[in-house]
A and B are shown apart, each in its own frame.
Chain A
Amino acid sequence: MSALFRKMEDRPWLFLAPAVIVYAVFALWPMVDVTIVSFQKWNGLDANRQFVGLANYQYIFLQDPVFWTAFINTVIWTFLSLIFPPAIGLALAIGLNREIAGRSALRAVFYLPVIIAPIAVATMWRWMYDPFFGLFAQTLTEWGLPVPDFLGQKDTALYYVFVAYVWQQVGFSMVLFLAGLQSVDRSLVEAAQIDGAGRWKIFRHVTVPAIMPTITIVLVLSLIHSLKAFDIVYGLTGGGPAQSTQMLALWAFSQSMKAFDFGRGGAVSVVLLVITVAIVIPYLRWSMSREVHE
């Protein structure tokens, strides 16, 4: 065994090989395959896949009545995801970074939703949103207020689904921000106090620059996560009512797995992939160039 390790010592690629193989098989190949499928007509069962060129893209961009709804919903969803979960997560992290009673328990409580499977979160919230027996309906009735059909109205359903998503995601941002806040140099805060800075100025001139790398990570991860939002929407509304909560990831799934048109489903997936890469890579490059390295 030790002879094997000695042999491997000057062949570093051997150490990387297992990870590279796993990555190639389970991450890279599916991306390549879905791109190939997006240029084909295939129902997922036939032995033959027929090459159709850009026909699938032409269809989803020009004829598919749902694609653009899903696209706009995904844009709205992503935009909201970049604001609410990070902002609430940061506020919670700032609060829970102070010496308060029950701090550890509260941190665990706010993080708990993150470890619950999104489909289970969807089930819980679906029950809470039930217009007759749900928690919200009962509470509103108690207060004598009208009870809306939370998930049944197409103008607002997306936002009610998003609330459940925020509830689940906020703990994730909070934990990352907590780690970031704990790395803020205490003496910088004290120097700012002596310099005459109040809380807001300290936050702006000391805390924010210090947690800039964390902010970048949180925003990038929120972005990636929101673009591929699927299971919570699937579990809560399945894309309805009247496709009003349809998302690109969900639409790709529906096209492939329900309509058995893997070519169109693949084309939607490729569009999503391109959008993700096109946004994330320039943002990462920009934010990394801005980070101040001590």
Chain B
Amino acid sequence: MSHVDIRDLRKSYGTVNVIHGIDVDIQQGEFVVLVGPSGCGKSTLLRMVAGLEAISSGSISIGGRVVNDVAPKDRDIAMVFQNYALYPQMTVAQNMSFALELAGESKDVIAGKVGRAAEILGLKPLLDRKPSALSGGQRQRVAMGRAIVRDPQVFLFDEPLSNLDAKLRVQMRAEIKGLCARLGTTTIYVTHDQVEAMTMADKIVVLNGGKVEQVGAPLELYDHPRNVFVAGFLGSPAMNLWPVEAIAGGLKLPGGSILPLDGRHPLPQPGTKLTLGIRPESLLPVADGPIRAKVALVEPTGAETIVAVTVGSETGTVLLKERFSMPVGTDIGLAPVAGSLHLFDAATGMALPVKAS
């Protein structure tokens, strides 16, 4: 069993607390992505699982064994670093076999394991090369190969795609996901890129300021964010978040537009200050739409058009599948897709409960 249990985990550097009591359950074979903005503690959390950072309090167990005081090499984990951390003086084959040699494996076993990993990752023709003679993508594969040969209980990835160009990143994203699924190894993957998190994860852990904001399946988090932070962090372009005021039967938007509620939420008390969330793809341009907006910028990407708008004093984004060519400054009406409104308490930032359907 290779489940990972993180219980009330805390980390402080002197008097500065960076991880404030985190609880995460990671099931065997699960691909869990830790995501959050820079400085949220995601890499620190991963490094604590790896044993590279001491734990201030709480516990981490891997496969049912508490590993708080176990050395990294004895935790049965393998880690892929952001800069790959390949030994520059060793060939690809030596890089991949180093851990096995240290573990005292026989030459035949090492050759077999390295050969199989090289086969899986398409590294066979590169085995005699040094890392300096490899491209970024190839180095990334070697780093993964080094992890695979050890057949660990848990793979740890620390922003492994950040150093690759956009195209290669998309390709490697699919490769890593496919590989981990094929091997069935429990994986913890750290990224600040929410698209990576959405596309790769079985389960996402959104971190902010050393705390867990929400844990769940990617679409569950996307459709039902627990608070304003998760709502704004997941999704690209980000969700429109506007300060609104509840009035009888609807919401008063910035600029004075009145938006009737769609019946998904219980009617809030008139006068209540709220934050309204609408995903950019849930807004449609409709001539007499209830949200009055002004076109600020039109960005055609080919497949989609991103329209930046102003709603009163606030800015917003509309994502359209069709072509759109209104001049900047045009007044337009926008209507939300039915059932797409998210409401958050303006003071606490927490999502308002949705009516049971």
A70 close to B (CB within 8 Å): no
* Cβ contacts under 8 Å, B71 to chain A: 193
A 115-142 binary contact with B (CB < 8 Å = 1; else 0): 0000000000000000000000000000
The verdict on A205 contacting chain B, using a C-beta distance below 8 Å, is yes
Question: B284 in the interface, Cβ–Cβ < 8 Å?
Answer: no
The reply to whether the CB of A185 lies closer than 8 angstroms to some CB of chain B is yes
- Does A293 sit within 8 A of B, measured CB to CB? yes
A194 & B88 in contact (Cβ 8 Å cutoff): no
Contacts of A192 in B (CB 8 A): 87, 98
Tell me whether B52 and A201 are in contact (CB under 8 A). Answer: no
| A188, B87: Cβ atoms closer than 8 Å | yes
Distance to closest chain A CB from B94 (angstroms) = 10
Contact of B85 among A191, A196, A197, A209 (CB under 8 A): A191
Bound-complex Cα distance A205 to B98 (A): 10
Asked whether B88 lies within 8 Å of A201 as measured between CB atoms, the reply is no
Closest Cβ of chain B to A36, distance in Å, is: 46
Judge whether A206 and B87 touch: CB under 8 Å.
Answer: yes
Indicate whether A289 reaches chain B with its CB closer than 8 angstroms: no
Q: Which of B18-26, B75-83, B264-272 is found at the contact surface with chain A?
A: B75-83
Residues of B within 8 A of A292 (CB): 88-89, 130, 132
Q: Establish whether residues B83 and A187, one from each chain, have CB atoms under 8 Å apart when the complex forms.
A: yes
Q: Give the CA-CA distance A289 to B16 in the complex, in Å.
A: 47
A192 to B79, CA, bound (A): 10
A210 to B87, CA, bound (A): 9
Instruction: List the A residue with the shortest CB-CB distance to B75.
Output: A194
Which one of A187, A188, A194, A197 contacts B77 once the chains associate, using CB atoms below 8 Å?
A194
CB distance from A189 to the nearest CB of B (A): 9
Residue A46 CB within 8 A of the other chain = no
Partner of B102, one of A185, A187, A197, A210: A197
CB-CB contacts below 8 Å: B149-182 with A: 150
The answer to whether A190 touches B85 (Cβ under 8 A) is yes
Asked if B224 is at the interface (CB within 8 A of a chain A CB), the reply is no
Q: List 22 A-B contacts (CB under 8 A).
A: A185-B83, A185-B85, A187-B83, A190-B52, A190-B72, A190-B81, A190-B85, A191-B87, A191-B146, A194-B72, A194-B78, A195-B98, A195-B99, A196-B73, A196-B99, A196-B102, A197-B73, A205-B89, A205-B98, A209-B87, A292-B130, A294-B132
